[in-house]
Amino acid sequence: MPIRPRSTQPTVQPVEHVFPDWGVDVFESHHAAGWRMPPAAHDFLKIVLVHDGMGTLRCGPDATECRRGDALVIPAGRSHEICDSDSEPLSLYVVSVRSRVLEIACFDPAVLASGVVHLDPHTAEKVERSMRRLLFEQTLDMPTTGAQMIALALRLIADLARTGDAEASGAGANQRTIRGADSVERMRSYVEDLSENFFEATNLDAAASTLGLSRRRFTQLFREVTGTSWLAHVRKLRIDHAKKLLESTSRTVLSVAFECGFEDLSTFYRAFKRETDESPNKWRTHKRRVETPSERSASTPSEGVA
């Protein structure tokens, strides 16, 4: 199956969806001035991110404005039309996913908020990174490309579904807002995301940069939202996860440390002892001593460091 190249040329006619065997199609669409999309309905889920420009999503009698940072979620079978602003044509990232991919993942697309979803800047940036990664993977044409594309597409959909718990705005059921765009709400969004990516290697300056904030403003807002510092919060998330792994798995302390985001074992030992007053090995031993026989694993896990 030929790989669709990235196109930066203005679109002057509808783009044909060419699905590879794995059932995920992704492309960029930069609309030419004056171009109009004819109404369409597809037998697959389509997720569109507005990278630039302004327009309107029409779904039946409903028409909702969209602009940079918005996601358009169009379920299979939904008749729709994306209309560009006369003065600011749209530039879009488009990901289409066959129903069989969702079925294999046991994912019900009905849990997604459909129509125009207004993303806060942090969430929009996260979605755009996912779109760009999909585009990059698609161009590689390697034996692992299909698996990567499916995994990335499902992660993108799951992220939108998780953050789509926000209530419908006053504009109607076809327009939803995922958190607000002010600094405090952006920070709350970041803190929620942090609970799922605390293990990624980063630092305070990089974290502030993701929200477009100065180090001082980021630190102030983070403490306002969490009641603690960024470093202390990340460290606690990592140690809490380490406790779960030490208690429920037989992984070595070294592997636990790396999985939780610590770059070296000595830093993990110091952080763990700061939180628990015990070393990881001692903490694991004490936890297992208080287990009931029915809770204890039949095999004794290794306590080795390496």
- Measured distance CA(137)–CA(146) in Å, rounded: 9
More confident call, 285 vs 5: 285
Alpha helices (H) along 198-304? 204-210, 215-226, 230-248, 253-259, 265-276, 280-289
Q: Structural domains in the chain?
A: 10-179 (2.60.120.280), 189-289 (1.10.10.60)
Give me the pLDDT at residue 65, please: 94
Q: What angle do CA 204, 206, 208 make, to 5 degrees?
A: 70
CB atoms within 10 A of CB 158: 14
Give me the pLDDT at residue 164, please: 58
- pTM, two decimals, is 0.62
Give me the pLDDT at residue 173, please: 40
Strands (E), 99-243: 115-119, 175-178
Q: pLDDT-derived band of residue 174, with 50, 70 and 90 as boundaries?
A: very low
| 188-204: pLDDT as tens digits | 888 988 887 888 868 89
**How far, rounded to the nearest angstrom, does the alpha carbon of residue 271 sit from its chain's CA centroid?**
28
Name every residue whose Cβ is closer than 8 Å to that of residue 8 and which is 6 or more positions away in sequence: 28, 30
Strands (E), 60-123: 62-67, 70-74, 81-84, 91-98, 115-119
More confident call, 296 vs 156: 156
Name every residue whose Cβ is closer than 8 Å to that of residue 193 and which is 6 or more positions away in sequence: 122, 123, 126
| Mean pLDDT of the chain, nearest integer | 82
The answer to whether residue 64 scores a pLDDT higher than 60 is yes
Q: pLDDT-derived band of residue 12, with 50, 70 and 90 as boundaries?
A: very low
Mean pLDDT computed over 223-229: 94
